[in-house]
Structure 1
């Protein structure tokens, strides 16, 4: 009888651990469409300007198009808030000085 209780207890503990770890992994890797846009810079930094999801996507598409050569480099002025936070988005072969 004692052996059966130990087996049931061990099984219950294992089940709880598996469910808990699975839930944590699922939560960490799921990104619902209604999620809040991530922050791309420290909000306490001087001159911080929050970028909306729509603006981020628009500016990101500009940077991608410039990197591909579909848009001229001058189009990057419309993506300046994004580039100020992440200058590494510009491909090195464009030869731009992205340090501010």
Structure 2
């Protein structure tokens, strides 16, 4: 590409991203470099955030887990939301519910 040819965005972008790029096309170089720096940092953060999530993470709701067999401890209401996580081979059930203005929680190792 010569210095006279304007770069073209990838063809497989969704409409919202393509529109955002069209809005940036007439920006000055300093503005574009600032946006580029932000987007590189955002991409790095997105990659690191996805790396932090355990692969065996399974979220469930009040109706039960993936197998349909959530047992609520005696001091946890049935309306509590449940998140099941496996960490280093140990399964944990995280229960969370609202009690008036407070949010209550309990962790149970299975």
User: What TM-score do you get using the length of structure 2 for normalisation?
Assistant: 0.31
Higher RCO structure, 1 or 2 (CA under 8 Å, sep 6+): 1
Structure 1 length normalisation: TM-score?
Answer: 0.33
More strand by share: 2
Q: Determine which structure has the larger helix proportion and give its number.
A: 1
